[in-house]
């Protein structure tokens, strides 16, 4: 029997339940359908398109090495996959289940379309560790707080070990027509992605290499180094996981294998990393169970939060021209590499929604377009957490002090100097607040505020006070609490 395997966010051949199931039944026709308006929930962002272009090429090469090929179509998945199945005589179409609202709708539409022609539709496996509709509180509801959620996950059986890719993928007697990756025109039309290629190697092999390198090195100091943006202390696996170039089970069991006969410190660091896999899982579960949260705060009282509408301030934030060095460094790293260090993501998000009081949706959409690892669930969870309006957002009145965060996690200014080169010669004691530096120190550093580096676009103390007043307007009572260090 011929089976069509619909590839989406599972662009790999190993540990691919749907593909392996199809190989055990007979001939396989791997298909990718480009339909950006229904991919996930929002149109696919620019940075993701760059990654997808490279990832599809690597997948096509991998399939070819196994005696198969990737059939690429463009259009409504229900229409295109029905046509492919009929063209090659397939009696079955399968995919890895996804849990974003629009993706689930696509799957239901697919089942209806195929049924009309007597073609079976199966959803086998997913890009998650656990089913979002099975992890429940004692009262039978979905979790909204991470710690009890992850405790519940860890109480379940260990995720299955990943399975190897099939050596050979049975080919059909006739192949349906398809397109080339070039025809999808995924690459940007302006050269803003120059730094991407130097930073990333999309594809299953690139993801596995990055996972191995992380487990062999940075994971041993993960608990402390993960917060230092000037070092390579994080896994940088998010994009590979988002596109399914490696599955979470492979990440889980690769770490488990590395734990054997290791010190208690190593084990603690590795478990901290696995908890980060848990946060990815939590985000997906929250979105699956509360699908409106992609564009609506989970805490509905925040619908009446008094947001500002200041296009100039939003643009200054997007361009890394706020006058706050740690914020500007993060936004410039994002533009150059398609990625930003997680600690800095929290700082820049807090700055937008608390200091500038600009709607978190503006930040979510900017990240969606510029992050190579943009994921609807994780993006939504992170921005609603920063805004105090989502899952596990307590204390909702948290306002990051960008100077304190910089001094704590980038004490010598290595990260700022890398991404804000106009401040490269500023002494470390002033690198995170150059407006406090004596005029002579600034002059000797080649900095003229307002000319080659901006003055702060808002005053921190005044902005914080205004944010606390605004939080009170949504029936919150935060009090005048100190900034988070």
Contact (Cβ atoms closer than 8 angstroms) between residue 392 and residue 294 = no
Please write the tens of the pLDDT for every residue from 381-422.
999 999 999 998 777 778 999 999 999 999 999 999 999 999
Q: Which two tokens stand for residue 26?
A: 């007979």
C-alpha gyration radius of the chain: 24
Dump pLDDT digits (tens) for 82-108. Answer: 999 999 999 999 999 999 999 999 999
- Residue 39 has a pLDDT of 45
Determine contact, residues 63/69, Cβ cutoff 8 Å.
yes
% of the chain beyond a pLDDT of 90: 91
Mean pLDDT on 472-480:
58
Mean pLDDT of the chain: 94
Grouping H, G, I as helix, E, B as strand and the rest as coil, residue 28 is: strand
Mean pLDDT of 321-342: 98
Q: What is the pLDDT of residues 39-58, one digit of tens each?
A: 446 889 999 999 999 999 99
CA distances from 412 to 334, 426, 432, 444, 461 (A): 21, 10, 9, 18, 24
Question: Which are the contacts of 373, defined by CB distance < 8 A and separation ≥ 6?
Answer: 238, 239, 241, 242, 338, 339
User: Could you give the CA distance from residue 142 to residue 104 in angstroms, rounded to a whole number?
Assistant: 18
CA pair distance 301, 359, nearest whole angstrom:
14
Are 159 and 249 in contact by the 8 Å Cβ rule? The answer is: yes
Domain ranges in the chain are 3-124, 127-161+203-289, 300-472
Superfamily, domain 3-124: HUPs (3.40.50.620)
Q: pLDDT band at 188, cuts 50/70/90?
A: confident
Residue 267 CB contacts under 8 Å (≥ 6 apart), including other chains: 259
Residue 109, C-beta contacts closer than 8 angstroms, at least 6 positions apart: 77, 78
List, as one string, the DSSP characters of 435-453.
Answer: GGS-HHHHHHTT--BTTTB
Residue 270: phi and psi, rounded to 5, are -65, -40
Positive/negative CA dihedral, 197, 195, 279, 38: negative
Provide mean pLDDT across the span 146-175: 97
- 3-state helix, strand and coil shares in percent for the chain, rounded to the nearest 5: 50, 5, 40
Q: Residue 189's pLDDT band (boundaries 50, 70, 90)?
A: confident
Q: Percent of the chain, pLDDT > 70?
A: 96
Please state the rounded mean pLDDT for residues 134-161.
96
Q: Domain 300-472: which topology?
A: DNA Cyclobutane Dipyrimidine Photolyase, subunit A; domain 3 (1.10.579)
Q: Is 7 helix (H, G, I), strand (E, B) or coil?
A: strand
Whether 478 has a pLDDT exceeding 60, the answer reads no
Which amino acids are annotated catalytic?
276, 279, 307, 342, 360, 383
Which two three-digit tokens encode residue 342? 């997680």
Residues 6+ apart with CB under 8 A from 462: none
Q: Does position 374 have pLDDT exceeding 70, yes or no?
A: yes
In the predicted structure, residue 283 carries a pLDDT above the cut 70? yes
Q: What is the DSSP letter of 433?
A: -
- Tens-digit pLDDT profile for residues 447-471: 999 999 999 999 999 999 999 999 8
Q: CA–CA separation, 433 vs 184, rounded Å?
A: 46
Residue with the larger pLDDT of the pair 169 and 35: 169
Are 321 and 454 in contact by the 8 Å Cβ rule? The answer is: yes
Which pLDDT belongs to residue 37? 65
d(CA 200, CA 238): 12
Predicted confidence (pLDDT) per residue in 197-214, tens digit: 999 999 999 999 999 999
Q: What is the pLDDT of residue 150?
A: 97
For 361-400, give one letter per residue: b (16+ CB within 10 A) or e: bbbbbbbbbbbbbbbbbbbbbbbbbbbbbbbbbeebbbbb
Q: What is the DSSP-derived secondary structure letter of residue 121? A: E
CA atoms within 13 A on the CB side of 35: 21
Query: CATH 1.25.40.80: does it fit domain 127-161+203-289?
Result: yes
Helix (H) or strand (E) holding 3: strand 3-7
CB 92 within 8 A of CB 122: yes
Which candidate, 392, 386, 390, 354, places its Cα nearest to that of 367?
A: 386
In this structure, the number of other CB atoms found within 10 A of the CB of residue 79 comes to 15
The pair of three-digit structure tokens given for residue 386, joined into one six-digit string: 């920063």
Q: Is 68 left (phi over 0), alpha (psi -120 to 50) or beta?
A: beta
Q: What is the pLDDT of residues 351-368, one digit of tens each?
A: 999 999 999 999 999 999
pLDDT value, residue 251:
97
Q: What is the mean pLDDT of residues 369-380?
A: 96
pLDDT of residue 408: 98
Partners of 358 in the β-ladder:
308
């Amino acid at each position: 029997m011929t089976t069509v395997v619909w590839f989406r966010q599972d662009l790999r051949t190993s540990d691919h339940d749907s593909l392996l199931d199809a190989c055990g039944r007979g001939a396989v026709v791997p298909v990718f359908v480009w339909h950006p308006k229904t991919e996930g929930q929002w149109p696919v962002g620019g940075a993701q398109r760059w990654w997808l272009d490279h990832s599809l090429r690597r997948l096509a090469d991998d399939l070819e090495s196994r005696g198969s090929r990737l059939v690429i179509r463009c259009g409504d998945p229900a229409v295109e996959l029905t046509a492919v199945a009929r063209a090659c005589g397939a009696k079955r179409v399968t995919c890895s289940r996804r849990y974003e609202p629009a993706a689930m709708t696509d799957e239901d539409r697919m089942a209806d379309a195929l049924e009309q022609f007597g073609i079976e539709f199966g959803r086998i496996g997913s890009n998650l560790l656990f089913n979002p509709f099975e992890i429940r509180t004692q009262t039978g509801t979905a979790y909204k707080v991470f710690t009890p959620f992850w405790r519940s996950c860890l109480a379940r059986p260990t995720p299955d070990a990943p399975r190897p890719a099939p050596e050979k993928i049975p080919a059909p007697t006739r192949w349906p027509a398809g397109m080339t990756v070039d025809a999808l025109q995924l690459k940007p039309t302006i050269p803003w992605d120059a730094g991407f290629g130097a930073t990333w190697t999309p594809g299953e092999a690139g993801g596995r290499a990055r996972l191995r390198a992380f487990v062999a090195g940075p994971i041993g100091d993960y608990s402390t180094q993960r917060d230092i943006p000037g070092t390579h202390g994080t896994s940088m696996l998010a994009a590979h996981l988002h596109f399914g170039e490696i599955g979470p089970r492979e990440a889980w069991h690769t770490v488990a294998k590395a734990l054997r006969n290791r010190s208690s410190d190593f084990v603690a660091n590795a478990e901290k990393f696995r908890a980060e896999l848990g946060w990815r899982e939590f985000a997906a579960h929250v979105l699956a169970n509360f699908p409106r949260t992609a564009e609506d705060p989970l805490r509905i009282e925040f619908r009446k939060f008094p947001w500002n509408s200041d296009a100039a301030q939003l643009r200054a934030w997007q361009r890394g021209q706020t006058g706050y060095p740690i914020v500007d460094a993060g936004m410039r790293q994002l533009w150059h590499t398609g990625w930003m260090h997680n600690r800095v993501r929290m700082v820049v998000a807090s700055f937008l929604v608390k200091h500038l009081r600009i709607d978190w949706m503006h930040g979510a959409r900017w990240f969606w377009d510029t992050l190579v690892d943009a994921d609807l669930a994780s993006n939504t969870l992170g921005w609603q957490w920063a805004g105090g309006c989502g899952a596990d957002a307590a204390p909702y009145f948290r306002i990051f002090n960008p100077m304190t965060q910089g001094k704590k996690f980038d004490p010598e200014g290595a990260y700022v100097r890398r991404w804000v080169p106009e401040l490269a010669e500023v002494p470390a004691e002033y690198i995170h607040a150059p407006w406090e530096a004596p005029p002579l120190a600034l002059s000797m550093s080649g900095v003229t505020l307002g000319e080659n580096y901006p003055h702060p676009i808002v005053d921190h103390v005044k902005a914080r006070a205004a944010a606390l007043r605004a939080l009170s307007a949504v029936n919150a009572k935060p009090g005048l609490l100190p900034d988070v260090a």
